[in-house]
């Protein structure tokens, strides 16, 4: 399933580029899936990591994901897919609230996604400074609110023994980037 999900996501995102780095977009879902795999999540969660943006950002439908990868993977992808008809603020508020009561696996995908995004920001910031915020529809202040709210809710309902190490890595990176 790992290779099928990887190949499918790479094909779905083939014409897209990363907003900040300009690299092929597929590098992002690959990084998310690898964080999940490295933390020991089951193959369906890793597959959903590869596929987490295909419904939101490509013509792929949730029914296609379900047919190819099963109900479990489709449900995980659906839980991470934003409703693009809503405003940025409403979409992010929904994610923040959802995260509070989400399952460990749902939280794991969201946090892996946000960690990889912040790592891209850190990389670009090293050469571009505060210009990095101009790549986003919402700048520093809104990105700070969103990421700090993710940190505030991601541990909710989890036992210390369940928390993947990369959650703490995300929290540290968030504090470092938004230290102003």
Backbone angles phi, psi at 103, to 5 degrees: -70, 165
Backbone angles phi, psi at 60, to 5 degrees: -60, 140
User: Tokens 């300009």 correspond to what residue?
Assistant: 22
Backbone angles phi, psi at 32, to 5 degrees: -60, -50
Per-residue tokens: 21: 């780095």
Three-state DSSP class for residue 17 = strand
Q: Taking Cα atoms as reference points, which of 78, 98, 94 lies closest to residue 86?
A: 94
74, 54 Cβ separation under 8 angstroms? no
Residues 6+ apart with CB under 8 A from 13: 24, 25, 26, 29, 53, 54, 57, 58
Query: Is there a catalytic annotation at residue 83?
Result: no
Query: Is there a catalytic annotation at residue 56?
Result: yes
Of the candidates 43, 57, 64, 82, the residue annotated as catalytic is 57
Of the candidates 10, 43, 56, 72, the residue annotated as catalytic is 56
User: Tokens 């897209």 correspond to what residue?
Assistant: 16
Q: Taking Cα atoms as reference points, which of 50, 56, 57, 52 lies closest to residue 7?
A: 50
Which of the residues are catalytic? 56-57
């Amino acid at each position: 399933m790992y290779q099928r999900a990887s190949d499918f996501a790479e094909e779905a995102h083939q014409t897209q580029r990363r907003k900040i780095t300009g690299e092929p977009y597929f590098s992002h879902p690959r990084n998310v899936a690898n964080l999940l795999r490295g933390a020991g999540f089951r193959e369906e969660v890793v597959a959903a990591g590869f596929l987490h943006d295909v419904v939101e950002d490509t013509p792929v439908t949730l029914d296609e994901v379900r047919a190819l990868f099963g109900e479990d993977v489709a449900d995980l992808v659906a839980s991470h897919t934003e409703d693009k008809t809503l405003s940025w603020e409403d979409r992010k508020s929904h994610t923040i609230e959802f995260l509070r009561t989400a399952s460990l696996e749902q939280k794991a995908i969201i946090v892996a996604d946000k960690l990889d995004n912040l790592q891209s920001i850190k990389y670009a910031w090293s050469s571009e400074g505060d210009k990095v915020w101009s790549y986003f529809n919402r700048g520093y202040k809104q990105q700070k609110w969103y990421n700090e709210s993710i940190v505030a809710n991601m541990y909710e309902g989890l036992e210390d023994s369940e928390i993947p190490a990369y959650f703490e890595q995300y929290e540290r990176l968030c504090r470092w980037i938004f230290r102003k």
